[in-house]
Amino acid sequence: MPRQSIAIVNYGMGNVRSVQKAIEYIAPNDNVFISDDAKLIGDSDRIVFPGQGAMGACMQALKKHGLTDVIKSCAIDRPFLGICLGLQLLFEFSEENGGTKGLSIIPGNVVKFQDNNLKIPHMGWNNVEQVTKHPLWHKIENNSRFYSVHSYYVKECDHGVVSGVTNYGIKFTSAIEKDNIFAVQFHPEKSQQDGLQLLTNFVNWNN
């Protein structure tokens, strides 16, 4: 495969350095870069969209950096990987911060874990059940464990986009797929060998 450019979207709300290091490790010949420049992101071959923190602050940061339009356009026409809040932001609405509108790329809503017996945030290693045979699951055993940190989850969405589920008091959506979009609630860059395999699959994915 010819050298390709992989843009990691930087709007000040993601663990971008660790994501960059992980992708550089599995794709040393590719141009893996961090950017908040809409043109550079728009010219790249693949997009990684990470996110951490509160949904409201993330949406404000995306607008401040002028990145909402380029994310929406890139999500239509090239391989696109959302990580953690980068999954939640793809949806229409989140309960977080008193109610926050997302990017509305995928229909659905994000809600907070409500079970008082659960430790919130959901933090640590948990199994992901693969409910579709997607190329990004290649060489990853079903029910493999990935590392998560989050207090909100996707509750209401089209079942046709669900690619992975995790049990934490309830079964919730932990991976989604739609056309050239794949997004995960967990952190592949913190999930050791299976996380690196997922990133490898993304780098090699020809959707």
For the chain, residues with pLDDT lower than 50 are: none
Active-site pick, 58, 65, 74, 84: 84
- Could you confirm whether 187 is annotated as catalytic? yes
The 3-state secondary structure of 70-99, one letter per residue: HHHHHHHHCCEEEECHHHHCCCCEECHHHC
Give the per-residue pLDDT at 1: 54
Classify residue 201 by its DSSP letter.
Answer: H
Beta-carbon contacts of 160 under 8 Å, excluding residues fewer than 6 positions away, are none
Active-site pick, 65, 122, 134, 187: 187
Per the confidence metrics, is the pTM higher than 0.85?
A: yes
Active-site pick, 65, 150, 177, 189: 189
**pLDDT tens digit sequence for 39-81:** 999 999 999 999 888 999 999 999 999 999 999 999 999 999 9
